[in-house]
Structure 1
């Protein structure tokens, strides 16, 4: 497989292909090993310009396109040095006298393109063996015959050393990459810390501005408070005028209140009368109405029952008449038969009984008809009573709102009187100034409360701001602590990384020194072995070895770049992994080593020198990078000092803010205390006499009442003094008269005292009479309740007569005029008298009186038996199916 030269003369005029390409057999072929390969060059670069491991031929633009934009500044500086060295190398190559030829190498596994350089302007059949340099550096044949064993050993040792150097350099590259990554991480963290620190400073400035704003607001609040005080002073004058107007209005209201009180008293009198009379009337009317309703219902029921009974009795009468006619016919038929005479007597007795019974029924029907007539006559009066009751109820419902209004007025009057007494007592005890009025005091209290509420609100706002500041300060403190901890951790990690890097650097330097010592020892051994060892040849070999070492460095760098960034085109050409490319390069290195040992291509030394210069520049770049790292470490230390200094400043500002916070809290506590003192002063009625003046009318009702009290008290004291003087004079006259008993003691007592005592007794008598009348009304109501209870439970109405006797009227009596009068005499004896009954009614009760009163002496049993008998005669008793007949 061949690779043709793809670069044109326009791209590089010094890399033009010659007319014929020289082919070189593989170095690994045993048949062609003895032949002199004189037209091969070191396979570092292909004729196409592709790079198999050296990064210097890549342009900066291609490397930037392949992802090197994010590398930090030290790496960019190193790349700049590399590109500059590459540019110098290319310029040196352009000035070379050689051209590029392609020559394929056919081996067992490897096929590559090896550049063959010819002098500029030489013929196409030019061979490097014909050059003057070949005769100059040609080695004798005897030395060449003895050289192969030592060359193999030396190549093996070189391979081992190269492998060790490769491992060391790979580890150094990895350490350098890790150090760069850590440095970039540290720089990012430091930038982030700086950003956080800047944010904290901004927030601190905001807090400081907020604090200044709050101070300004506090000053504005103080100015507003002063303005409010001035407004209060101006408004007090207006309030005084309003107070005068309110006093006049209060006088009018008091007059209206007096009028309403008089009206209220009148209404109370009327209400009391109606309250005492109305329940009795309502009770009477209700009792009458209930009685009339019960009587009417009973009468209607009795009428219906009587009608039914009358119809049944008429049917019975017609039936009996038919039976009577039939019996008479039978009697006429059986008169002949004597054995039926006994039956005729029985029939006669039955007929008599039936006729007597019919007479009784007719009499009952007559009584019922009379009672129905009476009830019909009484029904209009019941309707009138119902109408009266309804009208009274309507009036009562109309009076209920008046009662409520009266009750409300009474409560309001009591509240006003109580408030008036409290205000009078308060002003008598607390103030000497008579101009203080309740309305003015209330307004002053309201104004003070408004002021205290405003102060409380302002204090609450200040407390809220202080709490917010405390929370922000605590957050900032925690952030500062976290940042300081993170910074300490980062600093420790950075110090550890720097120390490890320094240790690795020292180890690498030691390894390099050992390698140099080893090379020097090999040179000495070579000199001892070969006595005719040429100094120039030894120098050349030493230089070649150094070039091999430097080339190995470049090879390691190229391999690391190809494996990390995958930018090498040579690895893409090979179908295997990067290990195959590495093997290819190792084989090429072995071939080049053999060629160098043979000493046939001395011109490659110049290329190695150029590579050495390039590597020296690269080491200079690395040293510059180390210096940059040291500078970054110094910058980190300076930033650390700045952060600590700023932390100290923040601590100081925090202490200052906490002190200000404590001062504000003390101020708020003082304000709370001042507010409580002001509230107590307002509650006790205190005011500033320098700024406040209480006005009152000269002729106000309170002062008039006070003047009346004082004048009456003075008059009474003077009168009392005069009376005492007169009393002493009279007593002295009595004693001087020698104890004359004809002097009336009434003359000694003053008439005014008599009059006062008389008026007081009259008032007490009036109160007692009023109390007695109320008790009588209560007793009367209770007596009515008692009578109603006895009437409903025992069936008799009690009426106490004036002579002390008791009148009992049964509930079930046919006539309400039928009643008993019981009188009680001495020795537990009494009389019972029946009133309103005719002789038939008295005879009907004779058997009960005889049985219960005369024989057994029990009036309660007599009354109970009479109740049962009267109930049997009522429609209710008759509807039960049990009728009592006289025997």
Structure 2
């Protein structure tokens, strides 16, 4: 009765109300008939009536049985159609699985391309990292060189500043003295001009008086006037000479004033340089302070890194930061993977629970079917058992395929949402949800059909069913899907590793780029170091490199000669027995000779430049002495100096005689040397021998003129400067007397 009550009221196959089961009515009639007691004696009519009734009931039962059989066959055909529909649906799912497989292959190729791109980017980033590291080292070397050049420049500027200040102080003193002398000379010149004007007026008066006296006829007075007039004219000429000399001195003073203005301009330039040096000194102090702070920070990091207890050793804070960044990126990727795995685990747990419940239910049903089969002994239910077994296998296959397809769809959805979130849409998710609901409805319908078949089997009295073997499921596609899923998981792990490494390298590249930009901005804002193409540093570096290459080549040839690969004598090569020198050694010697020649040429050039400079300075010195002291000096070899007075130079010509005067009562006569000298009024001083020679010898006219001065100043007092000063005063008086006459 329970099975009758549990039968469905809706026919899923025909689409209408389910008819009342005739088997149940037949069974009730049979039970009722068996329960009625048979009469002991019945009349013949009643027996005939009973027989006809039984025959009618038998015909009715046969008809009901045929109807039931037809209905059963109709149910079987409906189930077969449903199974075929399920088979077609499974084929559709297989085609969808093939599309998924193709998409998976495409994603695998994309992932491989991404891995190749990541590898290329990694190599590119590593190359850029090496380049940036090299540039950083080069910039640090340039910074050290710039600091060293700055220190050298500061020292040189300090020395030049001290020397310039000393020169400026001496020139300022000289300028003050010259200004005082100039003022004195100007005052004297103005006084002389006034006197000259007065003398001219007096001369005019005297001339008028002379004319008047001539008219008067006094000869003595005329002589007196003439004498006075001549004295006045001589005085006027002397004043004119003094005026010309003072004008020349004034021109010299003006030149000195111009040179002093130039020196003042140089002083202002040096003061500006000094201010710039002070600024550079402040910047250098700041740099040193920063370096000290960085050194302290480096020492603290070094002590921290040396005192760490972990197995992983870090050489620098950059390594520690790099490891921290890599660990953070790995943690982020692991959290992301955990978030992607958790829904899958939950879905798998739900699937496992559903499968366990389904397995328990199916196991219960199998036990019930076994009990019913053991209780029954007929053979009428063999075909039904086979159909039922086939349907159960198809049901299990459909359930398993639906679970696999659902898992694959979920994996595809998660993958689409993770790798291509822009292509993930709610419409696709809704469609997938509708398909999953359709599968659930199909499963529920299969469960109802299974319940109906179980009720029918319980109502019938089937015979012992034939043992049916379950068709083994084809696990090859499932195994392939599992293998592909494992490969996909492994490739995803590798891709996450490469992604982490790429992010770390990108972060390092950004950090190095920032450091490089900072160094460039620092360098551009602080210094601009210009470098010539042929600067001394580059030349020295080129010389070192060429020397090193030559020595390497020579070393290789000598090693080959020692190993016996090259001949050591000419006899080994078939020529005269002489020791052979490797070509590399000859080339090295030639380079050394060229270097020596270049060094000699540079030294000669420097010496020539120094000689030119000394000659120019000596000429300036001679001009200064000539203009200030009145003596023209000519420096001769062996420490001799030729002095000629500007007021008594003499005439050129040959003069016989010999003799000379010496300093400190050491006069020596040297006729051979005097004969070689040009005629003129000069004195040759020999500093090495402490002697002096007069031109023309001791009997010459010039020697006789200065004999008294030499005896008084040199022999008597040993003062050569006083001799030259006395000679200048005497020659000046004679010069003006001769010029006046």
TM-score, structure 1 normalization: 0.26
Q: Which has the higher contact order (CA 8 A, sep 6+)?
A: 1
The structure number with the bigger radius of gyration is 1
